[in-house]
Chains A and B, each alone.
Chain A
Amino acid sequence: MTATAVLQLQEVSKKMGKRTIVDRLNLSVQRGEIFGLLGPNGAGKTTVIRMITGLLSLSQGEITICGHSVSRQFEQAIRHVGAIVENPEMYKFLSGYDNLRHYARMMRGISERRIEDTVRLVGLEERIFDKVKTYSLGMRQRLGVAQAVLHRPDLLILDEPTNGLDPAGIRELRDYLRKMADDEGVAVIVSSHLLAEMELMCDRVAIIDKGKLIGERTVKSGSGEPVTEQRFVRFEVDRPAAARQLFGQPGNASAASAAVDADSHEVEFTGTKEQIAEANARLIADGIKVYGIRPVNKTLEQTFLEMTGGGTK
């Protein structure tokens, strides 16, 4: 375990009856990182979040938060966590403010000032003294975020936080999460099945399906990326079929490259910086004309569909 791992899951499984809902999951989330949990409906995202927050017991494995085991040292572990699990259900007969006061009382050292600051942060100051039953879905979502960040947690877990937010709200949330991660070193976990959202919001995304971890992927590759980083490029050539053969790909456009226009003269290639240079040299050595090499940001959507086998189930 590295010193900065805020959350660590080791071989975590959850069985309900005979079904295995989460299967030997290993994850770790670092300080200052925004981590995405991506998967289709029923993949087990909410189940994982319930286990991290101690609502569900583990059938197997161990979860630690800031070094404390959730199952054995629940109070020390959960102290560091702020979360929304599934929908942010609040006490409808209380005002938004009283809801926050309710949660503030359960944790040490939260002043009235802090509550007011949090309210301003999520932009609810106009309606905070109204009863929650008069709130819209988006306003409830904002209140949910407020109760999660009230005590300045080290680990912030938001289950589908953009659900119900308007575009401006999503943007604000994104900026706010970024700021929390960068300035205060908060580790953030966001779950979603909205791929585009995750690309914009997260540093790293884990894709899970049917309770299994299928892959992990860094989203924003910054300038200082390591040379071993896999890149995805398209070569524009005069004889694409010959080029594909050279790369060991099937002669016709494969399922993976189906997105590429059949008439275009582009061939896909994935490899490190060095491998791309080598591939280029081989094309030229074989007398294939290279008109251009275009880096393509392989979208999460593609990765996602490839990994989960084309959509839900």
Chain B
Amino acid sequence: MISLLLNEHMKLFRRARIWVLYAIIFSIVCFASTAYFNSSRDLSGDDWRATVNKQIDQDHRTIANSKTTDQAKENAQRRLALNEYRLEHNIPSQSMVPSPWSTIKKSSSLTMIATLLAIIIAADIVAGEFVWGTIKLLLIRPHSRAKILLSKYLTVLTTALSMLLLQLLSSIVVNMLLYRFQYITLPDLAMDTNGHIREVNMLGATLIDYGYQSIEFLLVVSLAFMLSSVFRSSTLAVGLAMFVTLAGQIITALLTRYPWGKYWLFANTDLTIYRAGAAPEGMTMGFSLTVIVVYYALFLAVSWAAFVRRDVAI
């Protein structure tokens, strides 16, 4: 198995393509980070206490005002508590100081681009062998087809994850440099429903965001892999996988009218809707996880059946 993985990695990394994809990811991270940095350039970070004090005054007035709604009062209370904690513990808000972390955390939303690039790898790894004709010499070795397919899938997974990792790491490095290593250890504050305040490590928060993003990433990559195995044509697999990914959210919106729309994969891949408490009717975290697992199992089963069972007549 190790030797099969070595082979797959050799075939992947000896080609220029993968390095171009890495370069694209790195450039986009650089570009997005610099753009964001430039737009928040006037933030000096010296006067954050003044800003906080101003907010505190404002919140006191809101609470004292008899005309404010209960909801608005509660929000003001919460902000007040957080701001007092900030002054007391000397923890400015991430948005008030030149901290690299807000940009780093936002970089997880670039995963969409990494997804499209990973599709190119995943959709080609099986189909490529058919297109080149090398599949014939690959399959006439003492290894079962299932094992060869597994080695290819594992290679796709590690490579796709390496793309995501590059996105994260380059975002950290680039932003640290842009912000000259200021506020590296500055945490974020979170308040639970009981009004208890907690300090949140920004790296941890970033990783959690990446975790949420990687669910759709993993599923799309597996979908592209399946299409590669089924159609044995790189172009068709790349095209279809990209179409489904790009149109995924539009289709989700179209399908919400139907009761079965919730079984559509892309209606379930964004689990942050449960964190924000914005879950649609009739959907729970457990439901979405089940849908995800069923789709994932289906993708793998179809990939397997299409590769192991079918004749190779090229």
Contacts and interface: CB of A to CB of B under 8 A. Distances in A.
Q: Main SS of the interface on chain A?
A: loop
Interface residues of A, number: 32
B313 interface: yes
Contacts of A152: none
A53 B133 contact: no
Contacts of B14: 93-94, 98
A4 to B, nearest CB: 22
Given A55-B140, A56-B312, A94 B10 contact: yes
Interface stretch (A101-109, A250-258, A302-310): A101-109
A85 B137 contact: yes
A56 B311 CA distance: 5
A102 B311 contact: no
B141 interface: yes
Interface residues of B, number: 22
A78 interface: yes
Contact of B141 (A76, A91, A92, A107): A107
B144 interface: yes
Contacts of A84: 137
Contacts of B143: 75, 106
A87 B134 CA distance: 10
Contacts of A88: 137
Given A75-B142, A78-B142, A56 B136 contact: no
Contact of B312 (A55, A79, A92, A94): A55
A83 to B, nearest CB: 6
Contact of B142 (A87, A94, A102, A107): A107
B132 A91 contact: yes
Contacts, number: 75
A56 B313 contact: yes
B132 A92 contact: yes
B272 interface: no
B200 interface: no
B15 interface: yes
Contacts of A54: 139-140
Given A55-B140, A98-B10, A50 B313 contact: yes
Nearest to A82: B140
Interface in B138-161: 139-144
Interface in B1-37: 3-4, 6-7, 10-11, 14-15
Given A55-B313, A56-B311, A92-B132, A102 B11 contact: yes
A90 B143 CA distance: 19
Contacts of B312: 50, 55-56
12 contacts: A16-B313, A55-B139, A55-B311, A55-B312, A55-B313, A74-B144, A87-B133, A89-B137, A93-B14, A106-B7, A106-B142, A107-B142
Given A103-B141, A106-B143, 16 more contacts: A50-B312, A53-B139, A54-B139, A55-B140, A56-B312, A74-B144, A75-B142, A79-B142, A86-B133, A89-B137, A90-B134, A91-B11, A94-B14, A98-B14, A105-B7, A106-B142
